[in-house]
Structures are given as structure tokens and as C-alpha cells.
Structure 1
Amino acid sequence: KKSWLSWLKRKNNFPNLLVVIFLVSIGYLLYANLGRDALFDWDEGIYAELGRQLLLTKNILVSFWNGAPWLEKPPGIAWVSALGISLAGETALGARLLMPLFALYTLGVVYRLGTHLGTWRHGLIAMGVLATFNLFLGRTRAVNTDMPLLASITTTMLFLLENRPAWWVALSVFGGVWFKGIAGLLSIIIAFPLMLHKSKQYILSTIIHSALFILPWHTYAYFMYHGEFTTPYFLEQVLRRATAQIEFHFENRWYYFTYLWENLGLGVILVSAVGVISLLARRSSRYLLWWVLIPLAIFTLAKTRLFWYILPIYPALALLIAEAIGRWQESKTNRRVVSILAVGICCQAIMVTSRSVEIHKLTAPTSDRLHVAQELGKLQLGTLAVLVPPSERLAEALLPSVARLTSSFRYGGMPSVPFYYQGSVEFYYDVDKFRALWESNHSFISLIAQDDAKLVPPNYKILVTTPTYLGIAREAK
């Protein structure tokens, strides 16, 4: 017992033990029933299919979706999805398998960032607070590029604070770009105040190393695909989203302020404000203000607004809250109180995470269309012809050209279908073209909505039926 106590007192082992216990607990919860729910559209369906296609094509430089090149982002997420699928199979579990690791890593880095505000208590509070935010938790288990970007941002900040070599910082920035594309450069924008304190040689070295990491793939993609690469990658995913409201995303200018108010609540905002006042008073760590305000300004000025875009400011908010609570450590009694609060916040985070992942929910039904696609895929009958549902056809008819991207109607409103079908899928928006397919002299299988059965000539055989979707076959004449 004495040796155990002496170990805890040596080299801050007690705080480290708390961090390990917290991360193991959160990790257990994030991995519990990870494959229970079907992939959700849109992002998960797209990114899971990228991983499946990588294993089929063996192309590690260019992503493919449903058999065609997909150039909206570099292949980072395809790599992660493919590795998970190779370990756990072509399932939702496989596609998601490695995603919680990014969340756990980010929490660990935020702890380290918190210690730079003062003590280990700051780190524990910041880590615990971040794990209570719904937006953060909502991205921890899903296949997405937002959590790798968050890992890149926090790592870049940590490396600069700890005076790590310039190529480390460049590699961290590259990690964000490798998953998020040009938006990954947000990490260096957020880190700008810290870069100002570095020497010109350090800054130049960071720029050169970043270029060496980032440019080769972009150069390769451009010379291989030219406009097929620049249009979706830069003109649409960056310029169009910044200058136009696309795909029915018509949120108002103050959307993010409203979202933060509703999602975080008055208490979180007020405590964060106290943290801001504290930093200004002691003239320290004011880079956190930049970390909050600049992304908020950028995404507010951009015309296309989606709630998860604002995720990059959440670690900064957690650190501001840690500053507000952790600054009261002048006396031994105060330090004990703050320590108890820090542990309590982490315990609360574990409970919030448990509720978020619905730990006691063991099964979840698969949607009708994914069930039909999965059952048809078992038959291995070739390309699946999908007549997109009436709601998707209506959206295609109503969306003006100025609000469209080349990929707006590439996915048929159901990008998970190719992954569950595990084969080639062709989406039909034009009912006449779909009917013409039925008049051709060859056999095929199709997925249609129950409401669209009346649009199909009656010479079909039902293979799979659900309340809302049908799997049907047409035999050659």
C-alpha cells in the first residue's frame, strides 16, 4: 500500500492516472455497440463506400464512390474507413472502427493544452467539459472528417505551445488537409497568434515542410483529372460554399450564434465569458480568443452554414471554462475544491457520454431501403437500378441551378445504398428513363419506393418487400 501511494505522488502520477481512467471509460462507451445503428446519410454512407471501394480498387491516392472517382477531399477518410473494414468486415462497425480513436486522442491533447493554462486541474476540467458537448459527442462515433480536423487543430496548437520542431507542426497541418481538404488549413489560421511568437526561420521551415507534405497529392490529382478535380475540390467545396447558399441550406446570418445559444445554453456561455475576462486580466493565453472568434467569423460570413462547421471552436470553449474554474487555486483549500470540481466534471462527462451513445440500447432497426439493398446484394445480380423516391425527385426539380453542386444529385438522396448493396448502383431521377429501362430486352433488379410501384410496368417479380420500399426484378423477354 505504501509503494502504491508513493507511486501516485511521484511525478504527478495521480493526475495521469485520472486521465487514463477517464479516457478508458470514455473509450469503452464510444466503442459499446458501435455497429448497432445503420450508417446515416449523408456523410457516413459516402465515406464508408470510399473505404469499401479502396479495398476493391487498391488505389490509395484517389477515392472512388460507386465505381467513379470521388475528388471532393483527399483520401484520408477513405484510408481510415478501409482499414476498419479490413479489420471488422464490410459493416457499419468496420467503417466506424477507428473513428473513436480520433475523439480520444483529441481529448488527450485538450488535457495537455489545459495544463498550459496553469495546472493539471485545468487540463482535467477542459477535457471533461469537451466530452459533455453534444456536438462533439455526436461526431465521436460516426464516420466523418470533422473529428480528424479537430485532432489536427488541437495538435497544431499543442506543438506550437511546446516548441516542437517545425516539421511536426507542418505534419499536423497536413493531417487536417489530408482529411478535410483546403478547409484543413483552418488549423494554421487558428494557430496564427502562436506563430507570431516564432522566429522567421521557424515560420519559413513550417511553410516549406507544409508545402512538401501537402502539394504532391494535389499536384498528382490535378494532372490526372484537371477540371474533374478542381471543380468539386476547390470551386464547389470552397468557393461555392463560401459565396452561395447551396442545397437548401438557407440559414440566416446569425445561424451559428443561435445554434450556440440553443446547443450550449446560457450557463456555458457565461462561464466561457468569465474565462475570457480572466485571460484578459492576466494577459495570458489570449490565443484562445482568436481560436473562438476567427472560425466563428469565417463560418458566419460564408453563405452555406451547417451546424457541425462550428465544431472547431469547441475545444477553445472548453479551455475557457477551465480557465474560469481553475483560476481559483491561490490556497490549498481552493485547490482541493477545484480538484473535486475537476473530477466531478469528468464523472459528469462519462454519464453524458453514456446517455449520448444509448449504452443500454442493444439493437436498432435498419431502414427499409437499406434492408432491401442489403437483401438484393446477397443475390449478386449485377447493377442495381434505383428509382429515387418522390421526395428526392421533387428536390431535384425545385433546386435552382445556382444552388447546385455537381454532386448534389449524384447520391440519389441515399448514399448508403451502394455500401449495403456492395455492388454498382445506378440512380434514376427521370421516371421516363426508368420506364424505358423496363422496355429494354435485358434482365435487371431494382429498388423502388412502394408509392412508385404504379409507375412500373406490371411484368416484375418482387424479391424483397417492406412497408416503404420494394426490391423487384425484371427478366429478359
Structure 2
Amino acid sequence: MNIFKNKFFDNIIEYIEKYYYIFLIIILAIALINLFYNLGKFPINSWDEARHGVSAYEMIKRNNYIVNTYSYTNDYWNLKPPISYWAIAAGYRIAGYNALGLRIFSALAGFITILSVAVFTLHKYGRLSSIISTSTIASTMPYILEHCARSGDADSAFVMFFTLSIISISLLNRSVKWLYISGTAFSLAFLTKSWHAGSIGVIIGLYLILSRKLFKLRVRSICIFVLSCIFPIIIWGIFRYGADKLLFFKNMINYDLLARSSVALEGHVGSTSYYIEVLQSSYFYWMLVLVSTVVAFTVILEQEMINKDSINDILLILLWIIVPFLFYTKAKTKIGWYILPIFPAMAIIIGAASGYLLKCKSRNLASQLLISILLLFSTYKNEISIIKMIVNPGIDYAQETLKNIGKLPQYKGHNIYTLYKTNSADNPNRWDQSYLLCAELYGDMKAVEGGVEGFLRDKSSKPLLLISKDKILISEIQKNNFKVVTENEFVYILSK
């Protein structure tokens, strides 16, 4: 009877592997839903997403793709190189000046990352492991939902280049060309998210030394690798230096590297257990699968599976997780999405370990059943949570009102002021970053600070005022002869 039951599980595994490409297409289709469904309907987030969106839009308007600006002033707060802005600018060109254009290349980068995990695990660990790993990363909530694949931030592209760089270095045995591809992906990661790419360099360096592959490389190959790592960065650096000399680079080093590492900037504090708590809250079910399968894999690992290549593979995956985790744990500024690059590595481990446990010689019905239940339950819980989030976009009434300006071409390009919402306690007339982006995207308007007073003093043609209905009464509108250009239940946009 036990043999029969084991045979039943083996038949299921054989069936999955036989029709691997059908199962993979189904999983990738679900991944596309997770990434793209309602992508342009969610309100734009302030801070990073809106800030990147403003810089990309203004690059197009200024026809300057080297210097990032915010409200048409050089931005020395968002100190990232330009690839993420270029991606958003391309998204605007393809999908329009809207939230979909802002996010479409992040979602595409997310899909490429998921596909890369699928292909890598297929060739390294087989069809069953590939199906499991792909399901894992495609249903990883923080990767899909939090500041990454569905957001117009730099993180999705950064994780993609991070993943491609590490996967490429793992293929070094096949051809030295993969070393150069890894270096190029590192340089693109740096040009996406600056110093965050440093962990890639540490992973690659430690891997090449500990695996002793470095000592087998020719000097010429090492030189080409170093060149592939730095040449694109140098080219960008030359153009950026021509724009504002050393000012941008000094801020990159002093603020984005040294200060962010040594001081908890902008209130982003946390203890040494901060990222463990992040994983417990947003990655709990997959973490349960990861820990249980890795422990079981370690206990029953068969002797014939231990060879130089497998040890090197394990070394690389462990470095992929441990180095970023330790780096950001040590840094004083702590933000949950800093550890996003480790999720593809965790998905690969879950797929490799689970696939091995389900097919190894010492497998039994109990272990196969337990692993299958854990995998299915975790996939279900995560996927349900993702679906619940993406089917409910929510609404931001100010953003919706600003969209209406795009339907009124007579106001396109005019000044607009605000007294609606602020991200600055010391300046109640300062624009919330998401509303500033909406003003630019939907009406090509110049978002000006100054509030009601500035609006009243403005002598330009048709200035506008974004204001909440609790800030102004109908009597005041009538007394000042203001015109209601557009409104909803919470917001006015007025003209004089």
C-alpha cells in the first residue's frame, strides 16, 4: 500500500515534469495578472515613486536625460543615476503620461526577473524545481506589492539587474563571457540604484575567491571583467560631471552612502532584528517553507549529491542572501524594501530543496505529503493576498481631480497652487509629491508653492488652485469670484 501511495506521488511529479511548459505558461500567466492587473488604476505614491516620476517627466520636457530635476530644479535629494528615470520616461512614451506609463517598465522588469528564475532553476535543478521556484517568486507579496514590481520606483529594475548579475556569475564554468555579462549587469544595477549595487560586488568577489575560480582566470579576463563593471558607470560619470562638476557625486557619497549607512535618515530606524521582523510579517508562509525544506535537505542530503559544482552553487546562493541581509542590518537607515534582492535567491532555494526532497531516494509518503501541503498552502495564501490587493485600487480624490484637468486643454501649461495636503509641517503650501507629479502628467502644469496668497497674487494667465472643500466655503468662492474648474466631493480646482 505504501509503495502504491509513493507511486501515486511519483506519477504526479512525472506528470508535472512531462507537461512542464504548460504548467510554466499557467504560472507566468498568473504572474502577469499579479504584475499588470489594475496597474495604472492605483493612486500614485508620494516620495520615491512620485519623485522618480517627476524627474522622468521633466527629463522629457527639458530634453536632458542626464540631470534629474524636481519641479524643474536640480534634485540633490534623490541621488540616483538615471536608468530608473529613463525606464519611466520610456513608459510614458509607450503607455502615456499616466500611472500606467509610470509603472509599466517596473512590471516588465518584474516579469523578466520571474522568467530568469524559471530558466535558471530549470537548467540547474530540473523541471519540478523550476515550477516551484517560479510559483514562489511570482507569489512573493513584498516583491510584487511593496515598492517593487508594481511601483514606479527603481527597485524592480535593480532587482532584475542584481538577479541577472548573480545568475550570470554562476554560469562562469560554461564560458568566461558570462563573467563579462555579470559585470555589465552590475554596472547597470549601479546606474539604477547607486551604492545599493555594492552588495553585488561583494557577493561576486567573495564567490570568486572562496570557490577559487578567481585564481583560474587569466589576467586579460579579469581586466575585461573590471572594465565591464566600470565602463558604463564612467561614461555616465563623464556626462554628469559636465553638467554640475563634482556636486552630484559629493552628495552621492556624503548623503546616500556615508550618512545613510551611519545615521537613521528620515526617521527610518530599526533594531538589528528589523529585517527578520520584516520577513516574519510579509514573507511568513514562504519563510516557513524555506526553513523546513532547507533543514530537511541538510539532514537527508545524499553523498552523491555533494560535489564541487553543487558546493559552489550553494555558496553563491547563500552569499546572495547573507551579504545584502547583513549589509542592511548593519546600516543605520532601515527600510523594508532594501532586502528585496534576496527574494529571487530564496525562491531558488525553495525550488531546489523542495524538488530534491520530493524526488530523492529516501523520500516517503509523509515527507512528500507534508512538502506538497506546505507549498500549495503558501502559494494559496500569498496569491489570495495579492489578488485582494490588486482588485481594490482605492481612490485619491485630489489625483482624480487633477486628471480632469487633462480634459481641459485651455488650462494646459498654466501655474497651479495648492492648499490641500502637505508633506511638510513647516510649509503648509508645499506640494505633496504625488500631486505635483499629477499636475505635470495630466495638465503639463507648473506646480508653484505659495498657497492661496500666491494664487491671488499670480498675474499669469489662468492660474489654478487645488484646495480641499474643508479649506474654503462656497461663500468665499462667490465673494472672490472664483470659478470652479472641476470638483469632486472632497476637492476643488479653482481659477480666478
Q: Does residue 251 of structure 1 match 2:264?
A: no
Counterpart residue number, 1:61: 66
- CA deviation after TM superposition for structure 1 residue 472, in Å: 1.9
Contact 2:483 2:495 survives alignment (8 Å): yes
Give the direction of change, closer, same or farther, for the CA distance of 1:29–1:297 in structure 2 (3 Å limit): closer
SS of equivalent residue, structure 1 residue 143: coil
Partners of 2:121 and 2:369 in 1: how far apart? 14
Counterpart residue number, 1:185: 198
- CA deviation after TM superposition for structure 1 residue 366, in Å: 3.9
Partners of 1:410 and 1:217 in 2: how far apart? 31
- CA deviation after TM superposition for structure 1 residue 191, in Å: 2.9
Counterpart residue number, 1:438: 456
Q: Does residue 309 of structure 1 match 2:338?
A: yes
* Mean CA deviation greater in 221-230 or 380-389: 380-389
Contact 1:388 1:448 survives alignment (8 Å): yes
SS of equivalent residue, structure 1 residue 98: helix
- CA deviation after TM superposition for structure 1 residue 266, in Å: 6.8
Counterpart residue number, 1:151: 160
Which whole-Å deviations, capped at 9, do the CAs of 1:290-317 have from their partners, x for residues lacking one? 2222211111121221111111111222
SS of equivalent residue, structure 2 residue 159: helix
Counterpart residue number, 2:397: 368
SS of equivalent residue, structure 2 residue 492: strand
Partners of 1:346 and 1:213 in 2: how far apart? 43
1:392 to 411, 423, 430: 423
Q: Does residue 472 of structure 1 match 2:494?
A: yes
Partners of 1:177 and 1:368 in 2: how far apart? 37
Structure 2: runs of 5 or more not aligned? 1-13
- CA deviation after TM superposition for structure 1 residue 173, in Å: 0.9
Alignment of 1:390-429 (within 5 A): 392-394=423-425, 412=433, 414-428=435-449
Structure 1: runs of 5 or more not aligned? 1-8, 398-408
Q: Does residue 299 of structure 1 match 2:299?
A: no
Alignment of 1:311-390 (within 5 A): 311-328=340-357, 329-331=359-361, 345=375, 349=379, 352-353=382-383, 355-358=385-388, 361=391, 364=393, 366-377=395-406, 378=408, 379-380=410-411, 382-387=413-418, 389=420
Q: Does residue 230 of structure 1 match 2:230?
A: no
- What amino acid is aligned across from residue 115 of structure 2 in structure 1? G
Partners of 1:158 and 1:59 in 2: how far apart? 34
- CA deviation after TM superposition for structure 1 residue 319, in Å: 2.5
Partners of 2:368 and 2:232 in 1: how far apart? 43
SS of equivalent residue, structure 1 residue 251: coil
TM-score (norm 1): 0.80
Counterpart residue number, 1:401: none
Give the direction of change, closer, same or farther, for the CA distance of 1:343–1:211 in structure 2 (3 Å limit): farther
Q: Identity, % of aligned pairs?
A: 17
Which whole-Å deviations, capped at 9, do the CAs of 1:377-430 have from their partners, x for residues lacking one? 534254434335465342669xxxxxxxxxxx78557453334443243343x6
Partners of 1:358 and 1:100 in 2: how far apart? 18
Q: Does residue 85 of structure 1 match 2:114?
A: no
2:485 to 450, 458, 463: 463
Partners of 2:382 and 2:417 in 1: how far apart? 40
SS of equivalent residue, structure 2 residue 341: helix
Which whole-Å deviations, capped at 9, do the CAs of 1:249-291 have from their partners, x for residues lacking one? 2334432121112222277246336526746965721222222
Give the direction of change, closer, same or farther, for the CA distance of 1:270–1:101 in structure 2 (3 Å limit): closer
Counterpart residue number, 2:117: 110
Alignment of 1:257-276 (within 5 A): 257-265=276-284, 268-269=287-288, 271-272=290-291, 274-275=293-294
Counterpart residue number, 1:52: 57
Partners of 1:54 and 1:340 in 2: how far apart? 53
Give the direction of change, closer, same or farther, for the CA distance of 1:391–1:41 in structure 2 (3 Å limit): closer
Give the direction of change, closer, same or farther, for the CA distance of 1:221–1:339 in structure 2 (3 Å limit): farther
- CA deviation after TM superposition for structure 1 residue 134, in Å: 0.9
Contact 1:128 1:345 survives alignment (8 Å): no
Number of aligned residues: 448
CA RMSD of aligned residues (A): 3.7
Counterpart residue number, 1:5: none
Q: Does residue 96 of structure 1 match 2:103?
A: yes
Partners of 1:391 and 1:67 in 2: how far apart? 19
- What amino acid is aligned across from residue 315 of structure 2 in structure 1? R
* Mean CA deviation greater in 275-284 or 305-314: 275-284
Contact 2:464 2:495 survives alignment (8 Å): yes
SS of equivalent residue, structure 2 residue 423: helix
- CA deviation after TM superposition for structure 1 residue 161, in Å: 1.4
Partners of 1:192 and 1:116 in 2: how far apart? 24
Give the direction of change, closer, same or farther, for the CA distance of 1:436–1:40 in structure 2 (3 Å limit): closer
Counterpart residue number, 2:229: 210
Give the direction of change, closer, same or farther, for the CA distance of 1:374–1:390 in structure 2 (3 Å limit): closer
Partners of 1:296 and 1:333 in 2: how far apart? 33
SS of equivalent residue, structure 1 residue 60: coil
Give the direction of change, closer, same or farther, for the CA distance of 1:272–1:192 in structure 2 (3 Å limit): farther
Partners of 1:279 and 1:396 in 2: how far apart? 58
Partners of 2:59 and 2:322 in 1: how far apart? 38
Counterpart residue number, 2:10: none
TM-score (norm 2): 0.77
